Structure 1
Amino acid sequence: MKNESKSVVCFGEVLWDVLPNQVKPGGAPMNVAYHLRKFGVDSHMISRVGADEMGLRLLNLLDQWQIPAGYCPRDTEHVTGQVIAKILPGNEMEYTIQHHAAWDYICCSEEQESLVAKADAFVFGSLAARGETSRETLFRLLEKAQYKVFDINLRAPFYNSEIVEQLLEKCNLLKMNENELYLLSQWYLLSADNEAASVRTLQERFGIDEVIVTRGGDGASYYSASETCSIAAYPVEVQDTVGSGDSFLAAFLAQKLQGAAPYDRMKYASALGSFVASRDGACPAYTLDQLKLFIAQKEEEVVW
């Protein structure tokens, strides 16, 4: 699978997920960049790390993953971000996110603006907007982006309806899970028990071209002005769900950049999301051949 002529810029948090028995690299936008690179997409990460050992390790990883580290400068005043992750019943995750991490202080530059302006897509979330410095940079870069992908990624208490609404007004593609849709339904008095009606209202209100709603083991749905489709999840024994949604988005974007139809994008995204959920951590080592073998083995188990 070749996407060498396509580029995607991911903006926001790079950090370490401190899990009960291990420490893994993480941050939703970095996870997306990692998986995009697996598909041959020229992915970039705009962030910030501390001038500490943990920051250096992240920069080394980006280098190993062939993601340019030059847009993730080292910050001598703030530490590299960490998230303390706790596994809850049902394999759901609870996160405690460190305050005032280096990625809260991402400064804008002309080089970043040029990079974003040339990219085929710009991926961002709400968490990177919690700090004033990174938020101002994000809004400046959004003015340069051609195709804006909002992976809403609501993490209490680091969001408010005013900023989320401003980001919704900017995006072309919105990705959210069913819990995030429910919260938006409460904010905007949508049909909480009718996913399609809620999504259509959001699209009309904010002028959003495409929406993805993920439902974990119950699959996901896609909505555009002209098309709607739903896809099942591939059955797996879940190791953890950290980063599975990020991998889902990366696979969807990679397929979109190739010109695949929405149903095919969603099917492939579901496969990678399930595959990652069956592995440890958000960025497990794998090859596309391994993913293809997984899909071949699981195809007959999926009820489409």
Structure 2
Amino acid sequence: MKQSIVTGMGEALWDMLPEGKKIGGAPANFAYHISQFGIDSRVVSAVGKDTAGSELLENLRDKSLKGLIEKTDFPTGSVEVEVDEKGIPCYNIREDVAWDHIPFTPQTAELARQTQAICFGSLAQRHPASRSTIHRFLDTMPDGDGQYKIFDINLRQGFYTQEIISTSLQKCNILKINDEELDIVTRLFALPGTGQEESCRTLLKRYALKALILTCGARGSFVFTPEETSYRDTPKVEVADTVGAGDSFTAAFTAAILSGGTVREAHHLAVDVSAYICTQKGAMPLLPGTFTKRI
């Protein structure tokens, strides 16, 4: 496998789950899971100068997850997570926290120049400070066929705008979105047609994307590219919770693509990994070697 740096950028926080707190945040989840495939990964975020921040940094070290985590005067982020009887989480996300104020430093710029693939979302762009840092990082990254800018849209509560989504779509070359988020984007941008595939194809063409990943929960998932469509059923598993499952999907898909796998091979691995994550508590369980040895 070509050695490359892959970065997850945005929120790093504590998920306050019914059974206790666990480290989380989509970019941190992504960076952790892709590191399990032997890929050099980084998480870029911020914590507070508080006990929660120190514990979060210690937890990342325990997981051997490297990153640029700045300490700020704002509190470390946390999310109250309630999980229903089907394992589906509901989030209450604390506002004006450290990861809303991620600075763009010389070290951040240097990492951007070395990054081959980045995963970012809409949530960390809710505040102008982190939004500016994410955009500068994307603009500093090299361009080219082997560069991947993955917008895992992650619409949460009311923390997004049409402008944030539009700018992110212009800066990314892979979009990952779920069926509920696709409905929102279809309405916001008045996309033509009535079907999901037509909306996805419109986004794929309008923003010249390399791929669009659509996940539909238990109803399966699709990967659309300009040349092909891949569909996979969602495996039936005993669900503990679905926290972090989508992030593991993105990480496994990216790991497979970076290793030279086809879109269908990457899709197959991503579906299997995310199904396994659903059987585990929390967002960052250890992946069995049966998955990590597949690339």
TM-score using structure 2 length:
0.94
Question: 1:62 aligned to 38, 60, 63, which one?
Answer: 60
Say whether the 8 Å CA contact 2:2–2:259 is kept in structure 1.
no
In structure 1, the partner of 2:69 is 72
Q: Does 1:110 align with 2:106?
A: yes
**Distance in 2 (alpha carbons) for counterparts of 1:64 and 1:91:** 27
Say whether the 8 Å CA contact 1:233–1:274 is kept in structure 2.
yes
**Distance in 2 (alpha carbons) for counterparts of 1:256 and 1:6:** 12
Q: Say how many residue pairs are matched.
A: 289
Q: Give per-residue Cα distances to partners, 1:131-164, cap 9 Å, x unaligned.
A: 1110111111110224211000001211011111
Over aligned residue pairs, what C-alpha RMSD do you find?
Answer: 1.7
Alignment-mate amino acid for residue 27 of structure 1: G
**Distance in 1 (alpha carbons) for counterparts of 2:241 and 2:75:** 27
Alignment-mate amino acid for residue 72 of structure 1: I
In structure 2, the partner of 1:244 is 245
Q: Give per-residue Cα distances to partners, 1:82-117, cap 9 Å, x unaligned.
A: 000111353221100001110000000122112112
Say whether the 8 Å CA contact 2:23–2:56 is kept in structure 1.
yes
Q: The residue matched to 1:120 in structure 2 has which SS?
A: strand
TM-score using structure 1 length:
0.91
Q: The residue matched to 2:95 in structure 1 has which SS?
A: coil
Which runs of structure 2 are paired with 1:84-233 in the superposition (5 Å)?
84-145=80-141, 146=143, 147-190=148-191, 193-233=194-234
Cα offset for 1:9?
1.0
Q: Does 1:15 align with 2:13?
A: yes
Say whether the 8 Å CA contact 1:4–1:41 is kept in structure 2.
no
**Distance in 1 (alpha carbons) for counterparts of 2:193 and 2:24:** 31
Indicate the percent of aligned positions where both proteins have the same amino acid. 36
Assess, with a 3 A threshold, how the Cα gap between structure 1 residues 127 and 292 changes in structure 2: closer, same or farther.
closer
Say whether the 8 Å CA contact 1:182–1:192 is kept in structure 2.
no
**Structure 2 residue runs without a partner (length 5+):** none
Q: Give per-residue Cα distances to partners, 1:22-66, cap 9 Å, x unaligned.
A: 111100000000100100010001100111111111111222222
**Distance in 2 (alpha carbons) for counterparts of 1:239 and 1:182:** 27
Structure with bigger RCO (C-alpha 8 Å, 6+ apart)? 2
Say whether the 8 Å CA contact 1:38–1:287 is kept in structure 2.
no
Alignment-mate amino acid for residue 132 of structure 2: E
**Distance in 2 (alpha carbons) for counterparts of 1:283 and 1:239:** 13
**Distance in 1 (alpha carbons) for counterparts of 2:36 and 2:292:** 13
**Structure 1 residue runs without a partner (length 5+):** 296-304
Q: Give per-residue Cα distances to partners, 1:140-194, cap 9 Å, x unaligned.
A: 1110224211000001211011111111111100001110011111112235741
**Distance in 1 (alpha carbons) for counterparts of 2:78 and 2:194:** 36
Say whether the 8 Å CA contact 1:4–1:40 is kept in structure 2.
no
Q: The residue matched to 1:48 in structure 2 has which SS?
A: strand
**Distance in 2 (alpha carbons) for counterparts of 1:178 and 1:215:** 5
Cα offset for 1:4?
6.8
Cα offset for 1:130?
0.5
In structure 2, the partner of 1:302 is none
Say whether the 8 Å CA contact 2:82–2:89 is kept in structure 1.
yes
